[in-house]
Amino acid sequence: MQTAPPSSSQALRRADRLGFAASFLCAIHCALLPLALALLPALGLGVGGWIDFDQGFVVFATLLGLTTLTLGYRRHRGFHAWLLLVPGLALVWAGAFTPLHDHGLAHAAIMTVGGLLLAAAHLVNLRLTHASNRPPAA
């Protein structure tokens, strides 16, 4: 038995859910990174090349956010999510690709706030898309 391929609306919802979850996890990661960096030597572990993972994630989050919010806007015509996405992207790009990328406290704060804004943008876009699929109230 074959199942029908997911509709574009379902794919958009899945992408927004992925964006929300990934951005929220990114914010948690950024908030806890200074603690992890402080504890690693005490556990006998070193910091390898994984420390710049956040730069790759910022590029992925940017592509995912721009794509899902563009597709969502085409459905619901609401700018609310963009008002969260743009400053969120500005913060994570500043935290990942400027001298703030020193993995200090300022970096952690900027990346955490940026990640939370990205997660909120995906959540708002998901809700706007969901609301646009409902029949109008009588």
Examine residue 86 and state whether it is found in any structural domain, yes or no: yes
Examine residue 84 and state whether it is found in any structural domain, yes or no: yes
Examine residue 47 and state whether it is found in any structural domain, yes or no: no
Q: What is the pLDDT of residues 24-72, one digit of tens each?
A: 777 787 777 777 767 767 766 665 555 577 788 899 889 989 999 998 8
Identify the residue with better confidence: 134 or 9.
9
What angle, 0 to 180 degrees and rounded to 10, lies between the N-to-C axes of helices 105-132 and 82-97? 150
Q: What integer pLDDT is reported at residue 8 of this predicted model?
A: 73
Identify the residue with better confidence: 93 or 100.
93
Give the list of residues 6+ apart from residue 65 with CB closer than 8 angstroms, or none. Answer: 19, 23, 85, 88, 89, 118, 121, 122
Examine residue 2 and state whether it is found in any structural domain, yes or no: no
Examine residue 90 and state whether it is found in any structural domain, yes or no: yes
- Indicate yes or no: pTM above 0.85: no
How many domains is the chain built from? 1
66-85 exposure pattern, b = at least 16 Cβ within 10 A, e = fewer: eebbebbbebbebeebbebb
Query: Quick check: 79 pLDDT over 60?
Result: yes
* Locus of tokens 């609306």: 9
Examine residue 14 and state whether it is found in any structural domain, yes or no: no
C-alpha Rg value of the chain to the nearest Å = 18
Mean pLDDT of 85-93: 96
Query: Quick check: 83 pLDDT over 80?
Result: yes
Query: Quick check: 6 pLDDT over 60?
Result: no
Q: Are 118 and 92 in contact (CB under 8 A)?
A: yes
Confidence band, pLDDT 50/70/90 cuts, at residue 84: very high
Size (the chain), residues: 138
Examine residue 136 and state whether it is found in any structural domain, yes or no: no
Structural domain harbouring 124: 20-36+52-130
- For the chain, give the mean pLDDT: 81
Q: Which contacts qualify for 48-52: CB closer than 8 Å, 24 or more apart?
A: 51/103
Report in angstroms the alpha-carbon separations of 45 from 28, 50, 120: 21, 13, 34
Examine residue 122 and state whether it is found in any structural domain, yes or no: yes
Q: Are 116 and 23 in contact (CB under 8 A)?
A: yes
Mean pLDDT of 126-134: 82
17 secondary structure, DSSP code: H
Identify the residue with better confidence: 118 or 24.
118
